[in-house]
Amino acid sequence: MLASKIERILRLRLWLMERFRLGETSITLFWAGIVGLCGGLLSVGFLNCVYALQRVLTDHSETNLIVIANDLNYWERVLIPTLGGLLAGGILYLGGRLLTRDKKTTDYMEAVLVGNGIIRLRDTAIKSLSSLFSIASGSSIGREGAMVTLSATFASWLGRARQVSTPRLRLMVACGAAAGIAAAYKTPVAGALFVAEIILGSIAMETFGPLVFSSFISTLVVYQLIGTTPTYLMPTVFHVGSNWDYLLFLLLGILAGVFSPMFLKMLHDGEELFHKLNLPLTVKLGIGGLIVGLVSIYAPEVWGNGYGVVGDFLRSDSLVWTWVLTIFLCKIFATSASVGSGAVGGVFTPTLFMGAAIGWLFGYGMNAIFPSLAITPAGFALVGMGCVLAASTQAVLMSIIMIFEMSLQYEVVLPLMLGCVTAYFVSKSLGQQSIYAKHLQNKQDANELLNKRALTVKDLLRRDPPCVPETASFGQTAQMFVGYRLNNLYVVDKDKKFLGIVSLHEMKPFLNDPNISQAVIVADIMRDDFPTLKVDQDLTQALQGFAKFDGERIPVINNDLDRTLLGFVSKTDLLLTLSAK
């Protein structure tokens, strides 16, 4: 007799299936939400660790690094970044012996683009700890890098724990990256667009939907724990004074497009210079911190990622232009030193700083030339952030949406559209590559390799399919449904030849009969008209097969003559693979 526990489980599953129609899309969104939830918590946790370490290193309870730097003595401004760099470098040096020696990537972009979705927890922990010391001691880098990596690494671990397929694991890592960006800047839409536009190069709903959901949940967590205040709060509403202002926004886009290649070249030159020094990594990071410290004697505003100074640009039109220009030049030098030394961190926020400074200086200059236009430099600083970001990342849509979400100034959208598009095309005409060009080149190389060899069903084949012998009893089949938690089991003969499928729905009429487990076998209730795929078919043929079939998985056989069951292909895996090409 069918065990009552198994019967209750199957009844519950059937009830849930009929009431909620839960499919692969719902399951994908559920796990994307879990990634977003944990990604938001990890980001907030990392931020709190930064603040705690700042208090230890500087003996100040203030969280704003610029306020702290202004309150320190000159020798303390030099000592703390230098010490932080040495400690960060020491962590990387000592941790280097523990880092994996295999070829599996530890970079989230490569894990999504060309890897198998695996990011090592140990490697991420070492690099995040190093980043923590660099950021807390005033290094001129962004903290968003560690937030994104932590969130993506958790997603990779969760996907591997669930034993998902490689395409789904890549999608989960992408959701983690989106959650990290969204948490860092409180930008749920831009967080999803960052991954879709820059990393995946696709806004297909199979990938974009989970990215948006993960970003939304992550931002919601940050709202609850930190607050809903926009990342950059302006005291007045952004307003375009006249149509002539749009000509100035166009000129600002041109200026940003010209500046961006220069800025990225300076970062590259900094890396090259430190590489030529041929010094231990610990010493390099120490020198990078020393340079930031020395610069901060004259300009303490170079400490940190520049978030506080950008706020000053957006909140005040009464700043002295010589001060803004000085901080701008010093920040370029300090950022080049921090990035060039090998400090683990992001350059996203420093890039926003550069755009805000250029926009403010441009607006101030135009106001001096055309005082009748009553130009506000703060407004141009906001647009300048988007222009330099678009030129540097080559992601126009993401840049427009991100600046809007960070400021919640609706009227800035039109100037951003004009300026960002202009900056993008100007930078492209100057040979500008994305700031993430190295990672994107890996994707291009991988795609070229794949194009030379057409993908087939074999490339997406998932082996060890859930199968049941044709002679299995009703009770044995029910137990397998409980164990596999799938809606269909594949029926095979003694030689593993595919015969058909048995569906959980087809078992429903027999669940009320206590003697059914002894009277019925699988062969009595199976369907033998179920579609199949051949292992050597290309993905276009596989897609055509799914177009005629309303289901998630299709079994794979050798060929029409040899119907040996090899495994199955998931429609979600197929769509994710096609959308990534």
The string of pLDDT tens digits covering residues 465-487 is 878 888 877 777 777 766 666 67
Do the first three CATH levels of 21-225 and 244-450 match, i.e. the same topology? yes
**What confidence tens digit (pLDDT) does each residue in 291-333 have?**
999 999 999 999 988 888 999 899 877 889 999 999 999 999 9
The residue type at 304: G
CA atoms within 13 A on the CB side of 195: 38
Low-confidence winner among 128-137, 375-384, 424-433, 446-455 (lowest mean pLDDT): 446-455
Q: What was the pLDDT predicted at 535?
A: 85
Alpha-carbon gap, residue 162 to 30, rounded angstroms: 13
**What confidence tens digit (pLDDT) does each residue in 62-102 have?**
888 888 998 989 999 999 999 999 999 999 988 876 655 54
Strands (E), 514-574: 533-534, 553-557, 565-570
Q: What was the pLDDT predicted at 449?
A: 46
Alpha-carbon gap, residue 392 to 508, rounded angstroms: 58
Alpha-carbon gap, residue 354 to 336, rounded angstroms: 12
The token pair at 192 is 């999803």
Query: Check: CATH 1.10.3080.10 for 244-450?
Result: yes
CA–CA distance from 568 to each of 401, 461, 545, 554 (Å)?
40, 6, 13, 5
* pLDDT above 90 for 384: yes
Alpha-carbon gap, residue 190 to 197, rounded angstroms: 10
Mean pLDDT of 55-61: 89
* pLDDT above 60 for 33: yes
Top-confidence residue, 336 or 486: 336
The token pair at 166 is 């490689």
**What confidence tens digit (pLDDT) does each residue in 409-432 have?**
989 999 999 999 999 999 999 887
Residue with tokens 């236009």: 373
Distance from CA of residue 543 to its chain's centroid? 28
Alpha-carbon gap, residue 450 to 321, rounded angstroms: 53
Percent of the chain residues topping a pLDDT of 90 = 43
Q: What was the pLDDT predicted at 1?
A: 47
E strand or H helix at 500, and its extent? strand 498-503
Tell me the three-class secondary structure of 170-225, residue by residue: HHHHHHHHHHHHHHHHCCHHHHHHHHHHHHHCCCCHHHHHHHHHHHHHHHHHHHHH
Top-confidence residue, 124 or 16: 124
Q: Shortest CA distance to 350 belongs to which of 424, 292, 432?
A: 292
Query: Check: CATH 3.40.50.300 for 21-225?
Result: no
Q: What was the pLDDT predicted at 176?
A: 94
Give yes or no for a contact between 235 and 315, defined as CB atoms under 8 angstroms apart: yes
Give yes or no for a contact between 38 and 214, defined as CB atoms under 8 angstroms apart: no
Percent of the chain residues topping a pLDDT of 70 = 86
Could you tell me the residue ranges of all domains in the chain? Answer: 21-225, 244-450, 455-580
Band the pLDDT of 457: cuts 50, 70, 90.
Answer: confident
Q: What was the pLDDT predicted at 453?
A: 52
Average pLDDT of the chain is: 85
Residues 6+ away with beta carbon under 8 Å from 579: 200, 202, 204, 206, 207
* pLDDT above 50 for 452: no
Give yes or no for a contact between 161 and 194, defined as CB atoms under 8 angstroms apart: no
The token pair at 281 is 């990594």
Alpha-carbon gap, residue 429 to 108, rounded angstroms: 29
Band the pLDDT of 202: cuts 50, 70, 90.
Answer: confident
The token pair at 244 is 């002539």
CATH architecture of 455-580: Roll (3.10)
Residue with tokens 């879709």: 196
Alpha-carbon gap, residue 151 to 181, rounded angstroms: 9
CA–CA distance from 283 to each of 84, 280, 335, 342, 443 (Å)?
11, 5, 17, 10, 33
The residue type at 297: I
β-strand pairing of 488-492 with 498-503: antiparallel
The three-point CA angle 414-419-422 to 5° equals 130
Q: What was the pLDDT predicted at 14?
A: 58
CB burial class (10 A; 0-12, 13-18, 19+) of residue 320?
exposed
The token pair at 452 is 């030379």
**What confidence tens digit (pLDDT) does each residue in 142-197 have?**
888 899 999 999 999 999 998 888 888 889 999 999 999 999 999 999 999 998 88
Top-confidence residue, 114 or 116: 116
Torsion of Cα atoms, 120 then 123 then 125 then 128, to 10°? -120
